[in-house]
Amino acid sequence: MTGMYHEPVLVQEVLEYLINLRDGVYVDATTGGGGHTMALLQNISGNARVVCFDRDADAIKEAEHRLNKWQSQVTFVQDEFSNIRDRLRELSIEKVTGILFDLGVSSYQINSAERGFSFQHDAILDMRMDTRSGMTGVDVLQTYAERDLADIFYRYGEERKARRIAQKIVEERKKRSITKTGELAEIIRNVVGERHLVKSLARIFQALRIEINAELDHLSEALVQTTDILQTGGRLVVISYHSLEDRIVKNFLKERSATRKPTDDPFARQDEEIEPDFRILTKKPLQPDREEQNRNPRSRSAKLRAAERC
Ligand SMILES: C[S@@+](CC[C@H](N)C(=O)[O-])C[C@H]1O[C@@H](n2cnc3c(N)ncnc32)[C@H](O)[C@@H]1O
């Protein structure tokens, strides 16, 4: 796997915030190449256990291989992290000591040309993290209304020329199907020109990926479930890579670390207050230092937030 290796981000910080019990049960919700899990296993006791989620079969295969030495301590689950509570229950695990989310795609996925995540390789526009089901990039470009495409590019990619790009896609697809990353890149080039091309390509590819994999919905759902599965004193650590994800994490923690009124429950006494679920441990999100950013460019946009279950 040389050159494909995914270097984990903010490893020391993850360990510092995640581990509060060396004998605990931990969840890596986004195992990827297993880099964070490996560091975790090296720092917890031989009695601790780690449940490794990823919805990507290739990631699970790669992590199983790399973590072979710890196989008696690790359980792999290929599923969405939004099913975390049910899948843990199936393993007879009610409460855990720590949960890590390292969101987005891995270098391994980006560098696997045939997966269609990257505009740097010409391949079929698949972009599904879990290739067992769901819409591919080709399906989205072929079937979504122009207005919906424009919304996705604007909301998930913050691309200013979202409308023009959506319009051009719809024009082009009347003539032929758009099936390859290179064809989409060409359409974007025709709209934005050379000067801002790379930025626009990154934005549109990110937007499509978020839509295809319903990334924000899964994140919101999984965060709610962490409240049920973390034991008191248990730690939640989330690393996000763009402002949409970080906003969801920030707002969730802000809301759940405050005393709330039971406004959503018509049967609850409105003068009662709901105690906070979390205590925030990182007042401001942590970011990689210059040295890490230079060594690992993918880490540049990373933001880590951590909280403790009350
Ligand atoms: C940035 S990588 C994680 C890298 C990992 N921390 C490491 O050190 O190698 C993100 C991983 O999360 C997975 N992923 C993203 N969204 C997911 C979801 N909703 N459910 C399960 N896995 C998901 C991706 O397939 C990818 O492998």
Q: Which atom of ligand 1 is nearest to the CA of 36?
A: 8
Tokens of 146: 């122009």
Specify the residue with its C-alpha closest to ligand 1, atom 13.
30
pTM of the model: 0.95
Judged on CB neighbours under 10 Å (0-12, 13-18, 19+), 265 is exposed
Cα 167 to ligand 1 centroid, rounded to whole Å: 32
Domain harbouring 102, CATH code: 3.40.50.150
User: Is residue 125 included in any domain, yes or no?
Assistant: no
CB 56 less than 6 A from any atom of ligand 1: yes
Specify the residue with its C-alpha closest to ligand 1, atom 19.
80
Q: Which of 212, 235, 257 is the last residue of a domain?
A: 212
- Report the b/e string of 288-303 with b at 16+ CB within 10 A: beeebbeebebbebbb
Same domain, 17 and 93: yes
For 30-41, how does the pLDDT look when each residue is reduced to its tens digit (9 = 90+)?
999 999 999 999
User: Is residue 52 included in any domain, yes or no?
Assistant: yes
Whether pLDDT at 85 is above 60: yes
Same domain, 96 and 168: no
> Which position has the higher pLDDT, 266 or 142?
142
User: Is residue 119 included in any domain, yes or no?
Assistant: no
Tokens of 199: 């930025």
List C-alpha distances in Å: 238 to 13, 45, 91, 286. 11, 23, 23, 10
**How far from each other are the two terminal CA atoms of the chain, in whole angstroms?**
41
CB 80 less than 6 A from any atom of ligand 1: yes
Q: Which of 212, 231, 247 is the last residue of a domain?
A: 212
User: In whole angstroms, what is the distance from residue 171 CA to residue 168 CA?
Assistant: 5
Side chain identity, residue 137 = G
Region 24-49: what's the mean pLDDT? 98
Cα 34 to ligand 1 centroid, rounded to whole Å: 9
Confidence class of residue 271 from pLDDT cuts 50, 70 and 90? confident
The pLDDT of residue 273: 86
Say if CB 252 and CB 101 are below 8 A apart.
no
Same domain, 293 and 246: yes
CB 106 less than 6 A from any atom of ligand 1: yes
Cα 55 to ligand 1 centroid, rounded to whole Å: 7
Q: Which of 150, 184, 212 is the last residue of a domain?
A: 212
Report which of 204, 203, 185, 182 is spatially closest to residue 301, judged by C-alpha positions. 203
User: In whole angstroms, what is the distance from residue 69 CA to residue 49 CA?
Assistant: 13
User: Is residue 4 included in any domain, yes or no?
Assistant: no
Confidence class of residue 208 from pLDDT cuts 50, 70 and 90? very high
Cα 20 to ligand 1 centroid, rounded to whole Å: 23
Confidence class of residue 112 from pLDDT cuts 50, 70 and 90? very high
Measured in degrees and rounded to the nearest 5, phi and psi for residue 234 equal -70, 155
The pLDDT of residue 299: 96
Report CA torsion sign: 189, 195, 198, 203.
negative
Cα 105 to ligand 1 centroid, rounded to whole Å: 6
Same domain, 220 and 282: yes
Q: How many domains, in total, are found in the chain?
A: 2
User: In whole angstroms, what is the distance from residue 179 CA to residue 110 CA?
Assistant: 18
User: Is residue 120 included in any domain, yes or no?
Assistant: no
User: In whole angstroms, what is the distance from residue 97 CA to residue 117 CA?
Assistant: 33
Domain harbouring 206, CATH code: 1.10.150.170
CB 288 less than 6 A from any atom of ligand 1: no
CB 59 less than 6 A from any atom of ligand 1: yes
Q: Which atom of ligand 1 is nearest to the CA of 31?
A: 5
HSE, CB side, 13 Å, CA atoms: give it for residue 229: 28
Cα 67 to ligand 1 centroid, rounded to whole Å: 16
Cα 31 to ligand 1 centroid, rounded to whole Å: 5
For 289-308, how does the pLDDT look when each residue is reduced to its tens digit (9 = 90+)?
999 999 999 999 999 999 99
Same domain, 180 and 263: no
**Beta carbons within 8 Å of 249's beta carbon, 6+ residues apart:** 219, 223, 238, 240, 305
Q: Which domain holds residue 208?
A: 131-212
